Structure 1
Amino acid sequence: MEISSNSSTDLRNFFGSAQSLVRATSTGRLDIMGGVADYSGSMVLQMPIKEKATVTIGHRNYNQLHIKSLDLTENNEVFIDLEELPRDYEEAHKYLFEIEGGDWASYLVGCYLVILKEKNARLGGLDILIQSEVPFGKGVSSSAAIEVAMFKALGELYSIDFSGTELPLLAQKAENLVVGAPCGLMDQLTSYLGKPNYLLPILCQPDKVYPSIKIPDNLYFVGIDSGIRHKVGAASYGDVRTAASMGYSIIAQNLGVSKQDLKVAESNLLPYSGFLSNISPSQYETNFSRLLNSMYGKEFMNDFVVVTDPLAHVKADTYYNIKASTEHPIYENLRVRLFTEMTKVLNNHNYVDLLPLMGELMYQSHESYNKCGLGDEHTDILVEIAHAKGAKSGVYGAKITGGGNGGTVCLMVYGVKGLLTAKEILNIYQKETNQEGLAFFQS
């Protein structure tokens, strides 16, 4: 859409008065269930939050990307010479992370580069202004909000059409290959397709989206920030993802798949279509649980050699918690499916009796994060406070969200009493830990 004449001072100062501008927005998301099981093909259940990222772009006469963030106070303006920007994704990643401000700008430049290559688009220089209400490092998908908004803006400015789930798939590619963060797809799908006051079920194989589920009156999902910064690119997240892929490789080879076939076979030709989440807990316990042990990367490479996940990187001297990382998506997929089916029933019945069961699934999910190594003492404190408050205070469940290692805890609360208790939990947490925290509510 065109920006009206009453645009903000920031817009007038950054863009020329005669520039034709396009603005696009996208929301952050709260991970209700599923979290880090998305890259193993799990069902996930997501919800958009109120906070949005806004990207405004306009044509630039120079062959440059001029990018400014209104959310940063230092290194908040970057100039990228398009003749110097590598077209290869890996080389572009190296180039961007060697220049001042290139780390945060990579989310936008990555989108530009992906649309240039994957859509064979003819693009030119741009002025790009970004402002986001979605706080960075809180586990509520600030990166996906920025990427989806950027793709929307580019699509409108250059009249580029996207079909189905193409836009979020391209946004994930930008984050995986240019930013260098091995995220799954649920964040971009939710930022693009999420609806206010609805939950979005997604089967991440890779992107089957089910009809949204209306959140019933008086039920609320509240995110409470632990104050501990989460990074998808952090080593532990990548190590858990790699360990899960190592576990799948061990299982597949035990079933007779050769190392060569694991390298080259299409996923639909592999056992369980290549996804751990397609293994049922009973099958896992009966046939595979005893096969899995923690080991160093060099031991795995000596015995099993290959992983199927292209974003998994086995490091020789890293000790991998293979069993817990493999079990998480297998059991999480069942937890999410049960939670989703119960959520569908909520709008048709007096549903309060179901909430303790749903809450137990959330608490189990939280503990599974901890077993993988993705927990954090601060998020544990929040979950423990919520558990102690319990149903008598309107709080039925709590779990760490997204990639773990800090970030945000999701609470499931009922009625005004539950909302008031959620605020009380945040206050208690802040006093106990001296951490600044935020609360996120459904859009």
Structure 2
Amino acid sequence: MNSFTELHGHAPEGEWAAPGRVNLIGEHTDYNGGFVLPIALPQTCRAQARRRPDGLLRLWSAQGGGPVTELRVADLTPGEVPGWAAYPAAVVWALREAGYEVGGADLRLESDVPSGAGLSSSAALECVVAAAYNDLYGLGLSAPDLALIAQRAENAFVGVPCGIMDQMASMCCREGSALFLDSRDLTSRQVPIDLADAGLALLVIDTRVKHDLADGAYAALRAGCERAAALLGLPALRSLAPSDLPAALPRLPEDLRPLVRHVVTENARVETAVAHLDTGDLTALGPILTAGHASLRDDYRVSCRETDLAVEAALAVGAHGARMTGGGFGGSVIALVAAPEAARIAAEVTAAFHRAALTPPHILTATPAEGARRIVGSTKSRVVNAG
């Protein structure tokens, strides 16, 4: 039921996939021009698609259900498309705003990236549509180009002032590697991360606390960082080194000091994490993750009872390190654990939630996966240049 042909009356031209992501370290640094270190997840958003000559964008989601949403491409306007359909519509709008002559399409969308879990389900949706349109309309855009289109879609059409990390991770990550990204100039490097070879596993603990980055809290944090940079006479907080903090913090209002401290120390944690990956010392990532969570909890104040409990419970039963991942206000926690202990630690964390009378978390194991790609059609290789 609800196959592409049943929904749209003809066969698709191809099928594409774009993954969610887990950020190992580097939270709330991307919109400050800083460093991030995400991996792509095996969980993806998939799009079957076919061009339309009549300027209509027809959308159906297996998760959203309901009837096909039909929009006229020429009439797409920021803020006028409600719900999940805003994300694919935003990408088409952003392509046209950038000067690309793209028209309508039929799309059938299906995702197994958990929604609202801090794993970038929205970026996966944006990026799979961008990858499909890139192929369907022969745009020839690189992966970073498409990531920027997807980011503009979310910023200007959906209204979430996100940085570039999520879209770059979904477009550019490679299987078996973490993406060391400098969000100031979008230079990046694939850093091998073989968890299995190191005898480790990375648990993703979805607390089931849904977050909505469009509710204003995220925007307020970004505005605070930008205000702090302006007061310090800097283009972005990335320009502030850890050694500069003692002199810089007293120049700022008290409410901005913790934000600045987090961003500066978090950038340093990313660089330290990459150094450990380069030497193959993956276990050394553990304390870095835990320090990152303390900073998000105490300075940035974006954790919550459930994410703090997941971190504390995982550490108490033997995790090498754990932290909240994603924008915050709920979502997921990652825990670096010895592979033979993964099942036991997951069970202990679940038991801790039960004792606290909280909804049991959903726990999965993350392995570094491939970024956006065409999976059915003329080729099964990556269809965009990771640049």
- TM-score if structure 1 supplies the norm length? 0.78
Q: Deviations over 1:375-434 (max 9, x none)?
A: 1111001011012112xxxx1011011101100001111221234313432343245343
- 2:250 matched to 1:290? yes
Contact 1:201/1:212, CA 8 A, preserved across alignment: yes
Give, as a single letter, the amino acid of the residue that structure 2 aligns with 1:222.
L
Following the alignment from structure 1 to structure 2, what is the Cα–Cα distance between the partners of residues 361 and 48?
20
The equivalent position to 2:5 in structure 1, one of 9, 12, 33, is: 12
Worse-matched range after superposition: 381-390 or 197-206: 197-206
Residue of structure 2 equivalent to 1:421? 345
**Aligned pairs for 1:19-418 within 5 A:** 19-60=11-52, 62-73=54-65, 77-85=68-76, 92-96=77-81, 102-118=82-98, 120-163=99-142, 165-216=144-195, 217=197, 218-252=199-233, 271=234, 274-285=235-246, 287-294=247-254, 321-346=255-280, 351=281, 355=283, 357-370=284-297, 371-390=299-318, 395-418=319-342
Following the alignment from structure 1 to structure 2, what is the Cα–Cα distance between the partners of residues 426 and 210?
36
Give 5+ residue unaligned stretches, structure 1. 1-7, 86-91, 97-101, 253-270, 295-320
- Number of equivalent positions: 364
Shift of 1:163: 2.9
Following the alignment from structure 2 to structure 1, what is the Cα–Cα distance between the partners of residues 191 and 357?
37
Following the alignment from structure 2 to structure 1, what is the Cα–Cα distance between the partners of residues 296 and 184?
21
Identity, in percent, stands at: 25
Shift of 1:105: 0.8
CA gap of 1:38–1:103, structure 2 versus 1, over 3 A, is same
Q: Deviations over 1:72-130 (max 9, x none)?
A: 245x6322123433xxxxxx22222xxxxx23111101111111221x33233321211
Shift of 1:219: 2.0
Shift of 1:364: 1.6
Contact 2:73/2:93, CA 8 A, preserved across alignment: no
Shift of 1:13: 1.1
Give, as a single letter, the amino acid of the residue that structure 1 aligns with 2:250.
R
Following the alignment from structure 1 to structure 2, what is the Cα–Cα distance between the partners of residues 155 and 184?
22
Shift of 1:436: 4.0
RMSD: 1.9
Contact 1:52/1:134, CA 8 A, preserved across alignment: yes
Worse-matched range after superposition: 56-65 or 165-174: 56-65
Q: Deviations over 1:302-340 (max 9, x none)?
A: xxxxxxxxxxxxxxxxxxx31111211101001111111
- TM-score if structure 2 supplies the norm length? 0.88
CA gap of 1:206–1:345, structure 2 versus 1, over 3 A, is same
Secondary structure of the residue that 1:134 maps to in structure 2? coil
Contact 1:137/1:230, CA 8 A, preserved across alignment: yes
Q: Deviations over 1:161-193 (max 9, x none)?
A: 013511111111111111111111111111111
Give, as a single letter, the amino acid of the residue that structure 2 aligns with 1:110.
A
Give, as a single letter, the amino acid of the residue that structure 1 aligns with 2:57.
L
Contact 1:176/1:182, CA 8 A, preserved across alignment: yes
Q: Runs (4+) of structure 1 moved beyond 6 Å? A: none
Q: Which of the two has greater helix per residue?
A: 1
Contact 1:107/1:174, CA 8 A, preserved across alignment: yes
Contact 2:208/2:331, CA 8 A, preserved across alignment: yes
Following the alignment from structure 2 to structure 1, what is the Cα–Cα distance between the partners of residues 338 and 182?
27
Choose 1 or 2 for highest CA Rg.
Answer: 1
Following the alignment from structure 1 to structure 2, what is the Cα–Cα distance between the partners of residues 235 and 20?
38
Give 5+ residue unaligned stretches, structure 2. 370-387
Secondary structure of the residue that 1:95 maps to in structure 2? coil
